[in-house]
Amino acid sequence: MQDAVLAMLAKEPAHGYNLRARLQRSLGPLGGSMNPGQIYVTLARLEKAGLVVCERADGLPERPDRKVYALTPAGQQRVAAWLAEVGWPKPDLAEFHLKLAAAAAARLADPVELVAAQRRELLRRLREVQRAALDEPAGPGAGLLLEGVVLRLQADLRWLAACERAWSANDDDEAEDA
């Protein structure tokens, strides 16, 4: 969540409610479960950690919330590191999804490239598990557990393939628009 919010600020400084609206757009119906105050709690933590700075904006006197958040250089570094990160400890689909959306919006990285990198990593893991499984005899032993891991990785890989298709198509559309 923190990383996603940071990445969204990479495009341009933004109000908290702006950030919240963009998060909700990306997550769709899943975004409905988000606590309305959560974005501000997150931003406060990030500010405390020195990754974002808060500025008062002028020109909108009638709005009670006039804080605009922007990335600090440390925040920018953190965003870059996060984009390059391919760890998948527990498949957090929402996080990866937001990563792609943020990367695309801020033009920080090509989402298709991010998907490909993630895919390579997952394939490498699948390979390890699959080879381990080949050594196991059939039956209710470790092979069965490994089979479960294989199936989950396979599911993740299929979702990545879907991501790749969708973002590639998006690229093509934008190329045509330009």
Residues 6+ apart with CB under 8 A from 76: 10
Of 21, 27, 34, 126, which one interacts with another protein (CB under 8 A)?
Answer: 126
Distance CA 111, CA 119 (A): 12
Nearer to another protein, 13 or 143 (CB): 143
CB 158 within 8 A of CB 166: no
Task: Classify residue 150 as left (phi > 0), alpha (psi -120 to 50) or beta.
Answer: alpha
Based on the shown chain and the rule CB under 8 A, indicate whether residue 172 belongs to the binding site for another protein: no
Q: How far is the CB of 87 from another protein (least distance, A)?
A: 5
Among 30, 41, 60, 84, binds another protein (CB under 8 A): 84
Which of 18, 47, 155, 150 has the alpha carbon at shortest distance from 93? 155
CA dist., res. 34 & res. 18, Å (int) = 14
Q: Which of 29, 32, 36, 87 binds another protein (CB under 8 A)?
A: 87
Number of residues that bind another protein (CB under 8 A): 36
**Residue 56 beta carbon to another protein: minimum distance, rounded to whole angstroms:** 40
Residues that bind another protein (CB under 8 A): 84-91, 116-117, 119-121, 123-131, 133-134, 138, 145, 147-150, 152-154, 157-158, 168
